[in-house]
Amino acid sequence: MLTTTTVDSRQVYDDHRVKMRVDTVQLGDRPVLERGVIEQSNSVVIVPITDDAEVLLVKQWRHAVQSVLLEAPAGHLNPGEEPRDAAVRELREEAGHSAERLESLPGFWAAPSISTEYMHGFLATGLTTSSLPQDDDEDVELARTAVADIPRLIREGTIVDSKSIAALLSALYLYPELMTSD
């Protein structure tokens, strides 16, 4: 098994949302090399399911990929904020709803080869309208989508971001009863 030693670390970028550092690392007996690391706060992704078997997705512009994406509501934790509290806040900000029940879904590393961000997944049910203002840097549009359409939307490439795919498929696999309304 390879052992890794960080020989040096220097911060090269810092703004209110993201930091970047460059680490000089030694991998076992291999030559020293540099690795860029994006330091981000942890985040949440929520799969909100209505009583009539719709999932509340959002459409929003993603500058890095120059495209509007169809996604599960998500967002970063504020300093000192617990994941469950962030999920409640983000659900209200992005989808305009609150949840009677919030179940944990599997969490995951967003991009472990380059980022420190860990995403906490949640399933939200028992939804009622309850909104908070969107963040200043967001312009999010609600997109009510039949739960039964989710596998097709992923297969066809309509839903293409990893957090949404991971959370949606986890919810459908772990809670197959969501595929039909009550």
- Domains annotated for the chain, with CATH where assigned, are 4-39 (no CATH), 43-179 (3.90.79.10)
Give me 31's structure tokens.
Answer: 């030559």
Q: Read off the pLDDT of residues 27-71 as tens digits, 9 standing for 90 and up.
A: 888 889 999 999 999 999 999 999 999 999 999 999 999 999 999
Instruction: Check residue 177 and give its pLDDT.
Output: 87
User: Model pTM?
Assistant: 0.91
| Cα–Cα distance measured from residue 129 to residue 32, given in angstroms and rounded to the nearest whole number | 54
Strand-by-strand arrangement of the 54-62 sheet? 67-71, 54-62, 141-146
Element (H, E) at 99: strand 97-109
Contact 74, 119 (CB under 8 A): yes
Question: Quick one: which of 126, 103, 132 has its CA closest to 44?
Answer: 103
> Which stretches of the chain drop beneath a pLDDT of 70?
1, 132-138, 180-182
Residue 48 pairs in a beta bridge with 124
